[in-house]
Amino acid sequence: MSATTTTHIPAATRERPPSGLVGPVAWMRANLFGSWISSAVSLVLLYVILRAGWSLLDWGVIHAVWTVPQGANGADTTACRDAIGTGACWALVPEKYRFILFGFYPFAQQWRPAIVIVLFLAMFAISANRRFWRIELLYAWLVALVAIGVLMWGGILGMPYVAQDQWGGLPITLILATFGLAFAFPLAILVALGRRSTGMPAVKLICVVYVELIRGVPLISLLFMASVLFPLFLPEGIDIDKLLRAQVAIILFAAAYLAEVVRAGLQALPKGQGEAADALGLSYGKKTLLIVLPQALKLVIPPLVNTFIGFFKDTSLVLIIGIFDLLKSGLTAVADPNWQSFGTEVYILLAVIYFAFCFAMSKYSRGLERSLDRGHRR
Amino acid sequence: MSQTATLDRAGTSNEAPAIVLDKVNKWYGTMHVLRDVTMTVGQKERVVVCGPSGSGKSTMIRCINRLETHQEGHIIVDGTELTDDLRALDTIRREVGMVFQSFNLFPHLTILENCTLAPIWVRKTPKAEAEEIAMEYLRKVKIPEQAKKYPGQLSGGQQQRVAIARALCMKPKIMLFDEPTSALDPEMIKEVLDTMIGLAETGMTMVCVTHEMGFARQVADRVVFMDRGEIVESGPPTKMFEDPQTDRLKLFLSQILRGH
């Protein structure tokens, strides 16, 4: 036995932090007025924010025109015209929202695209819940896809046929973005895996060429090719739907970008993970599905969602090949002579709609990251 | 090369040897990393492979379940030769468990899921049965209470014990250990070594790359010393440590002992 005795060290007593370190006043002192330069910057920014906020409030609420009377030739927008420069013309919204949302879709039938929008939102909500991430969800989406087609085209169940060139507005944007990304994502995973394949150089080459070729051209030129050039190569009499052609162009374009994001995730995964799976006797397919992809995709959620959000907005480029997406419908709505000067209001409305979708995606992805993070946190 | 020494166990039993390496050569580019490596591991034999870093010992052990491919020579594991034939490879990998220096647990799966994954997907064991087996092995490595946790929540020593349990859940005939304690803090090395000693006592065929000479003395039937890609000397641990024949082993032992 050793002769030394251990000294008892009392455990640190728990104390609350000194009162000067918490609370809003302390926070402001620490973060806004820590030094004279930070105080000066804070005050200048406060002034700018208040001025801009006040102008916006003044224009958007206080001097805004909310309703206009109906005249002989549609709405009488004199009140709005008088207010140009001083107040917003929100009377445009109740007057034009159906055109912005549904484009030239026959007015009496617009309940159909309205249901399509609701269907999309419901499917998004269901798909967002990880409890429903089962094979049945895929079937549900296939059913939804058919339902969307039936509702939009009609021609059966007593619904009159509506040609595709009459579709417009938000359903078009949702269709292009949702199915664009839904098909691009699995394709991107295959391309990324192919590009990293060591055993099959031909597959690797094809994947590299595909990614570099598609990434090297602007989306607009791909859309032009899809709408103008592609039909020239088809045999006489065969005509593929213009929306479908644009959809395919978007899928191919998005897949090339997403493939690089997925590849980054595959590369970031420690080599030992694949080796451990190999050593346990897992086949390539099982290793990829059970070990590699769940981890690799989790790693790249932020850039994936970044790309998703980018493509959601990039679908608006289809307006240049004459497809009436949300943006084009909005622009067309203010082509009406009565409403010609109120582009700003429409842009703000469109921005709010786009923002709502993009913000939801961003918010959701952060939640998903957090809930998937448990494994790596100690 | 002590052919007689390698044959003592495999030769006396009537069973086929568990692992045969016959004049195995491997190059990384122009670097010759394995030179005519010839070794036989008998059933239930416990072999410790040691040598300075870069001596090819890890490469050699990784060739046994084909995480690395050899370019010349033959490797026969449990009667099946390792070739490009994927079916033979699957058979061998099912029978050979491996424990890595960096544990390589799957961080997105719980401890229990780590242990049941391969039995369920490779051996097609029913889930309930696989979980029962997994719990049994987790009890053996003394961490059944961690089954629902994720690897990131465990200490290094605990993770390595889970890695051993995970490999054992496949009921392998042979276990390979690639420096299993090198990434651990000193106070955790003992718990992992104790687990390995326990495993050795069950009669498992083991090939273990390690610098733990105490472990080698205690459990190894034979110690193989590698340097610059070749087997320099091999024999029973007492003989190897107390009466080394080659200068290279003498130098290695003096360096190891100085380090301790």
User: Is the pLDDT at A23 greater than 90, yes or no?
Assistant: no
Output the CA torsion sign for A337, A343, A347, A353. negative
What gap in Å lies between CA A37 and CA A44, rounded to an integer?
11
**Is B105 near chain A, with CB under 8 Å?**
yes
User: Is the pLDDT at B4 greater than 50, yes or no?
Assistant: no
**Is A289 near chain B, with CB under 8 Å?**
no
Looking at residue A373, what is its pLDDT?
A: 76
Looking at residue B12, what is its pLDDT?
A: 45
What gap in Å lies between CA B8 and CA B3, rounded to an integer?
9
What 3 state SS string does chain A have? CCCCCCCCCCCCCCCCCCHHHCCHHHHHHHHCCCCHHHHHHHHHHHHHHHHHHHHHHHHHHHCCECCCCEECCEECCHHHHHCCCCCCECCHHHHHHHHHHHCCCCHHHCHHHHHHHHHHHHHHHHHHCHHHCCHHHHHHHHHHHHHHHHHHHCCCCCCCCCCHHHCCEHHHHHHHHHHHHHHHHHHHHHHHHHHCCCCCHHHHHHHHHHHHHHHCCCHHHHHHHHHHHHHHHCCCCCCCCHHHHHHHHHHHHHHHHHHHHHHHHHHHCCHHHHHHHHHCCCCHHHHHHHHHHHHHHHHCHHHHHHHHHHHHHHHHHHHHHCCCEHHHHHHHHCCCHHHCCCHHHHHHHHHHHHHHHHHHHHHHHHHHHHHHHHHHCC
Mean pLDDT over B219-245 rounds to 92
Mean pLDDT over A278-290 rounds to 92
Q: Could you report the per-residue pLDDT of A209-223, keeping only the tens digit for each? A: 999 999 889 988 888
What residue of B is the nearest CA neighbor of A285?
B121
Looking at residue B46, what is its pLDDT?
A: 93
Axis crossing angle, helix A242-268 with helix A301-314, rounded to the nearest 10 = 160
Q: In A, residues 221-280, which contact B (CB 8 Å cutoff)?
A: 270, 272-273, 275-280
Whole-number mean pLDDT of chain A? 85
Looking at residue B5, what is its pLDDT?
A: 42
What 3 state SS string does B39-69 have? EEECCCCEEEEECCCCCCHHHHHHHHCCCCC
Q: Could you report the per-residue pLDDT of A291-312, keeping only the tens digit for each? A: 999 999 988 988 999 999 998 8
> Which chain A residues have a beta carbon less than 8 Å from that of B90?
281, 283
What gap in Å lies between CA A337 and CA A340, rounded to an integer?
5
Mean pLDDT over A247-265 rounds to 92
Question: Residues B109, B112, B113, CA angle at the centre, nearest 5°?
Answer: 40
Angstrom CA distances, A221 to A51, A211, A253, A364, B168, stand at 43, 16, 11, 32, 57
Is A375–B121 a contact, with Cβ atoms under 8 angstroms apart? no
**Is B137 near chain A, with CB under 8 Å?**
no
> Which chain A residues have a beta carbon less than 8 Å from that of B107?
295, 375-376
What gap in Å lies between CA B124 and CA B94, rounded to an integer?
12
Closest Cα of chain B to A199: distance in Å?
A: 12
Encode A24-38: b = buried (16+ Cβ within 10 Å), e = exposed. Answer: eeeeeeeeeeeeeee
Q: What is the ipTM of this complex?
A: 0.88
**Is B90 near chain A, with CB under 8 Å?**
yes
Range in A127-141, A183-197, A280-294 with the lowest mean pLDDT = A127-141
More confident residue, A29 or B125: B125
Closest Cα of chain A to B94: distance in Å?
A: 5
> Which chain A residues have a beta carbon less than 8 Å from that of B153?
377-378
Looking at residue A340, what is its pLDDT?
A: 79
**Is A377 near chain B, with CB under 8 Å?**
yes
Q: Could you report the per-residue pLDDT of A349-358, keeping only the tens digit for each? A: 889 999 999 9
Task: Place B11 in a pLDDT band, splitting at 50, 70 and 90.
Answer: very low
What residue of B is the nearest CA neighbor of A371?
B108
Is B121–A279 a contact, with Cβ atoms under 8 angstroms apart? no
What residue of B is the nearest CA neighbor of A374?
B150
Looking at residue A15, what is its pLDDT?
A: 65
Q: Could you report the per-residue pLDDT of A81-109, keeping only the tens digit for each? A: 777 778 788 877 887 888 888 888 888 88
Closest Cα of chain A to B251: distance in Å?
A: 32
**Is B61 near chain A, with CB under 8 Å?**
no
Closest Cα of chain B to A281: distance in Å?
A: 5
Task: Place B14 in a pLDDT band, splitting at 50, 70 and 90.
Answer: low
Which of B102, B108, B122 has the CB atom closest to A281's CB atom? B122
Angstrom CA distances, B155 to A142, A350, B107, B113, B160, stand at 46, 52, 13, 18, 9
Mean pLDDT over A240-245 rounds to 82
Closest Cα of chain A to B173: distance in Å?
A: 13
Which of A281, A294, A295 has the CB atom closest to B170's CB atom? A281
Which of A200, A278, A280, A295 is the best residue to mutate to test the B interface, defined by the most B CB atoms within 10 Å of its own CB? A280
Q: Could you report the per-residue pLDDT of B117-170, keeping only the tens digit for each? A: 999 999 999 999 999 999 999 999 888 999 999 999 999 999 999 999 999 999
Looking at residue A100, what is its pLDDT?
A: 85
> Which chain A residues have a beta carbon less than 8 Å from that of B93?
278-281
Looking at residue B134, what is its pLDDT?
A: 94
**Is A200 near chain B, with CB under 8 Å?**
no
User: Is the pLDDT at A240 greater than 90, yes or no?
Assistant: no
User: Is the pLDDT at B1 greater than 70, yes or no?
Assistant: no
What residue of B is the nearest CA neighbor of A286?
B121
**Residue B256 burial (C-beta neighbours within 10 Å; 0-12, 13-18, 19+):** middle
Is A375–B152 a contact, with Cβ atoms under 8 angstroms apart? yes
User: Is the pLDDT at A280 greater than 90, yes or no?
Assistant: yes
Q: Give φ, ψ of A82 to 5 degrees.
A: -65, -30
Q: Could you report the per-residue pLDDT of B47-99, keeping only the tens digit for each? A: 999 999 889 999 999 999 899 999 999 999 988 888 888 888 888 999 999 99
Looking at residue B10, what is its pLDDT?
A: 43
Closest Cα of chain A to B240: distance in Å?
A: 31
Looking at residue A378, what is its pLDDT?
A: 40
Range in A53-67, B18-32, B117-131, B240-254 with the lowest mean pLDDT = A53-67
Looking at residue A49, what is its pLDDT?
A: 95
> Which chain A residues have a beta carbon less than 8 Å from that of B96?
279
User: Is the pLDDT at B221 greater than 80, yes or no?
Assistant: yes
> Which chain A residues have a beta carbon less than 8 Å from that of B98?
276, 279
Mean pLDDT over B169-187 rounds to 91
Looking at residue B24, what is its pLDDT?
A: 92
